[in-house]
Structure 1
Amino acid sequence: MTDTPPDRLSTDPSSPYFDQPKLERGIGIRFKGNERRDVEEYSISEGWIRVALGKKVDRHGRPLTLKLNGEVEAWYERPAEGAGEGGGESGDEGETA
């Protein structure tokens, strides 16, 4: 089983691509080889990200965004709940005979 983020994800709750449980795990984005922390929405297959345009907002109070085209990579910053257990590395260090 691969643990890859969705092809498209948004931080805007009104978007159809918003998914709170996936966002809570943390999504890392690399755009054109540089890691970005200011991404509002991304699409890997279409090759674009949306970033906030400073502190400017539209008439509804949502941030204005700028769409940038280029190579996009995404990954989860934290493993899924229950995944990664059973490694046994941390429990064996403190044992003495």
Structure 2
Amino acid sequence: MNEATPTPTPTPFPPLPDRLSIDPRSPHHIAAVFEHDVGIRLNDKERLDVGEYCISEGWVKVPAGKTLDRKGNPLMIKLKGKVEAFYR
């Protein structure tokens, strides 16, 4: 018997939005994008700790050390510069 096993078709990457957040409570969170590995560059240096970004306004939010806010979430600081988002 020669049954051909179907090859999985690669899922196309959804377009990266102008603004994206890793927080699922945020209105800028898009779960389909996080099914793939997303990379962020700030001023031509790749950052691995980005919590939110906006390409058009040129900023990223990263945790400020181990500091937590009163709800237990990391305290975020905004860094400005040239922001690029890409799939790895």
TM-score, reference length from structure 1 = 0.73
Moved over 2 A (4+): none
Specify every segment of 5 or more residues in structure 2 that has no aligned partner in the other structure, as ranges. 1-12
% identical aligned pairs = 51
Paired position in structure 1 for 2:60: 49
State how 1:72-91 maps to structure 2 within 5 Å: 72-77=83-88
Specify every segment of 5 or more residues in structure 1 that has no aligned partner in the other structure, as ranges. 78-97
Paired position in structure 1 for 2:27: 16
**Between Structure 1 and Structure 2, whose CA radius of gyration is higher?**
1
For residues 53 and 39 of structure 2, the distance between their equivalents in structure 1, rounded to whole angstroms, comes to 11
Query: Per-residue deviation at 1:55?
Result: 1.2
Query: Per-residue deviation at 1:52?
Result: 0.5
Query: Per-residue deviation at 1:3?
Result: 5.8
Encode CA deviations 1:50-97: one digit per residue, 9 max, x unaligned. 0011111111111100001100000122xxxxxxxxxxxxxxxxxxxx
For residues 62 and 30 of structure 2, the distance between their equivalents in structure 1, rounded to whole angstroms, comes to 18
For residues 53 and 21 of structure 2, the distance between their equivalents in structure 1, rounded to whole angstroms, comes to 7
Paired position in structure 1 for 2:49: 38
For residues 76 and 38 of structure 2, the distance between their equivalents in structure 1, rounded to whole angstroms, comes to 19
TM-score, reference length from structure 2 = 0.80
* Secondary structure, counterpart of 1:49 in structure 2: strand
Higher helix share: 1
**Cα 1:11–1:3 shift into 2, 3 Å:** closer
